[in-house]
Amino acid sequence: MRRIRRLGAAIVLAAAVTCAGTGCTVIPVSGPYTMSEPGAGDPLTKPFQRMIATSPQPSWGPEQTIRGLQAAMAAYADDPTVLPQYLTAEALKAWTPSGAVTVLDEPLQFDPPEPGGAEPVQRITLSAKQVARIEEDDTYVPQSGNWERPFHLVKVEGVGYRVSQLPDGLILTRSDVDRAYRPTKLYYLNGSTQDRVVVDNVRLRLKPAETYAKVILERLLKQPSGALQGAASTAFPAGTKIESVRFGEDEHVVVNLSGPLDLLDLSGEDALMAQIRYSLNNNDVAKGRGISVLVDGEPYTSYQPDADDQRWLDNSGNTAFYVSKGAVHHMTKEGPGGAVAGPAGEQRQGYSDFAISKLATHVAARTSTGISMAPLTTQGGQWQEVIRGDDLTPPSWHRDGSLWTFDQKNRVVLRYDPAGKRGPIVVSAPELDRLRLDVTRLRIARDGVRVAVITGKNTVQVGALTTMGGLKLANFRPLTTTEEGNEILDVAWRDDEHLLVLAQSKAGQILNEINVGDGEVAEIPLKDRLKVLAALNEQVLAEAFGEKGKGPKILQLNEDLSWTSKIDSDVESPLFPLG
């Protein structure tokens, strides 16, 4: 299936371009190539075009001066000496480049200077559509709406206009960001189970003097973005440094580290290598190559490419299930399959919203009095109510074997651990509690870290299971909101980065795939009315309303975005383990 792809391809190296009247020049940085151009340069980096800004000119008017200032902002990371020349001494003393980067769409609009053009002080307003904000933790946050900012300029005799007041932070255009930044996937460790890597999507600025590979690994040494703060950890000890990233023999990638790593202690080397190789390979840097890690030039650990080694991205099987007349069944390639072993495979009434555990060893379902679970085994067993309550959201399994739900009546998150031999515990969710949010659906991602919740009828929020200071649901931020009068019906984790969101509008249903890292949306066309979603990577299933007299059916999404019927009638929820 066609998936969302963020900007990752190389920018074509072009001839130098002069920005007329703004004092900026875009020049290509020579030398690097991407892996898609084999044998043509260094695949450890990415080509990009560097912005070269020039000083303000005495002949420039207010608009030209502000355009030059914006160009100097685009070049600031590579050359911080030009931008201060656009500011008065007082403005320079008060200004700092730190803070979020504002990303504007083009063209930029300038209101004419206010009356009094002959005066030494001018006020000019810059306006545009804002498309994003890049936070200080490198998170790319899409924005929409109008943006404007007034600038005050002072004319200095023989020198020209200077900006007398400038709010903190940088203002870049979309083309500035496309030119110098790259969407980057960083991989950290699952904070609770330490058995899986978790992807963190950021935007990193390329550096002319460093390879993209080194830029990635230097950022990997820092804390994850705010979305994963307290939820993901690292195998790199504090104080580790990236000394170099280069090619060795047989085109191995050689990463030389320095710092407190102990060459005699290899207890964390597997996890450390997982962070390095996924962060390099999944950004199309050194993909398919072996990797050697040195510490102060001495061998520490190495990795040889192995297509079957996916344990650090383990999703625990891809078997699909479905429910028919209250009994759970396996789904085959052709469609209908046999009932599962044990009590879950027996027909019964009053059970709904089924969920399958990580290794498909247990099934959970909601009843009128709470949530019950049963083993998927031929060795007996029975349904057992493990969480009591008459207003609980559908159950969701965590990869550690625990079962989660939200008690809507008491507004608390509940977690039941079968290994704990005791009843459910309340998990702190301070942000949900503070806002008194009405949670109608809670789904934990297969990475064991991210959590999606539907709040009310109109909003999907994404948070994380944090472990610092005790287990909490935190770091929530809105992912998508429907218009008033519409309703979000269901959500399903497709993979670590994408959430499927089914919404009902006045005009009909909408199914979107949303990247939780940068908010990009791809709409999936619908023909039938859907009720329930289930997904696992390329597999997307849905329960759809059937024809009159036939009952619900299960549909499968094809690669060409069309839908085909897997089971035609008398079925309910499609299921995958976790998600």
Say what the pLDDT of residue 5 is.
Answer: 32
Which range in 140-144, 392-396, 435-439, 480-484 is most confidently predicted, on average pLDDT? 392-396
Band (pLDDT 50/70/90 cuts) for residue 549 is: low
Q: State pLDDT tens for residues 124-167.
A: 999 999 999 999 999 999 998 999 999 999 998 889 999 999 99
Angle at 317 between CA 313 and CA 323, to 5 degrees: 135
Q: In this model, does residue 39 exceed pLDDT 60?
A: no
Neighbours of 348 (CB within 10 A): 13
Say what the pLDDT of residue 454 is.
Answer: 96
DSSP letters of 479-517?
Answer: EEEPPTT-EEEEEEE-SSSEEEEEEEETTEEEEEEEETT
Lowest mean pLDDT among 59-63, 185-189, 256-260, 316-320: 316-320
Say what the pLDDT of residue 12 is.
Answer: 27
What are the DSSP E strand ranges found in 139-252? 140-142, 146-156, 160-163, 171-173, 181-190, 197-205, 232-233, 241-247
Q: In this model, does residue 510 exceed pLDDT 50?
A: yes
CA 53 – CA 73 distance, rounded (Å): 8
Sheet with strand 352-356: strands edge to edge: 352-356, 362-366, 370-375, 384-388
DSSP alpha helix (H) spans, 27-142: 62-75, 89-94
Say what the pLDDT of residue 43 is.
Answer: 67
What are the DSSP E strand ranges found in 93-180? 101-104, 109-110, 121-134, 140-142, 146-156, 160-163, 171-173
Measure CA 245 to chain center.
26
Give the type of residue at 42. D
Using DSSP's 3-state secondary structure scheme, residue 195 falls into coil
- Helix H or strand E segment including 217: helix 212-220
Say what the pLDDT of residue 115 is.
Answer: 60
Band (pLDDT 50/70/90 cuts) for residue 469 is: confident
Say what the pLDDT of residue 534 is.
Answer: 97
CA 553 – CA 245 distance, rounded (Å): 53
Structural contact between residues 292 and 299, judged by C-beta atoms closer than 8 angstroms: yes
Band (pLDDT 50/70/90 cuts) for residue 316 is: confident
Say what the pLDDT of residue 116 is.
Answer: 54
pLDDT average, residue stretch 264-279: 90
Which position has the higher pLDDT, 487 or 16?
A: 487
Q: State pLDDT tens for residues 382-431.
A: 999 999 999 999 999 999 999 999 999 999 999 999 988 778 999 999 99
Percent of residues, the chain, with pLDDT higher than 90: 71
Say what the pLDDT of residue 434 is.
Answer: 86
DSSP letters of 271-297?
Answer: HHHHHHHHHHHTTTSSTT--EEEEETT
pLDDT average, residue stretch 53-61: 92
Band (pLDDT 50/70/90 cuts) for residue 51 is: confident
CA 379 – CA 335 distance, rounded (Å): 27
pLDDT average, residue stretch 436-440: 88
Lowest mean pLDDT among 290-294, 420-424, 470-474: 420-424
Measure CA 262 to chain center.
33
Band (pLDDT 50/70/90 cuts) for residue 194 is: confident
Q: In this model, does residue 118 exceed pLDDT 70?
A: no
pLDDT average, residue stretch 466-483: 92
Q: State pLDDT tens for residues 347-369.
A: 999 999 999 999 899 999 999 99
DSSP letters of 324-384?
Answer: ETTEEEE--SSS--PBPSSGGGS--SS-EEEEE-TTS-EEEEE-SSEEEEEE--SS----E
Cα-only R_g, the chain: 27
pLDDT average, residue stretch 64-83: 94
Band (pLDDT 50/70/90 cuts) for residue 195 is: confident
pLDDT average, residue stretch 66-91: 95
Q: In this model, does residue 330 exceed pLDDT 60?
A: yes
What mean pLDDT is reported for the chain?
A: 88
Structural contact between residues 327 and 347, judged by C-beta atoms closer than 8 angstroms: yes
**Which domains are seen in the chain, by residue range?**
17-180 (3.10.450), 183-311 (no CATH), 318-575 (2.120.10.30)
State the pairing for strand pair 171-173/101-104.
Answer: parallel
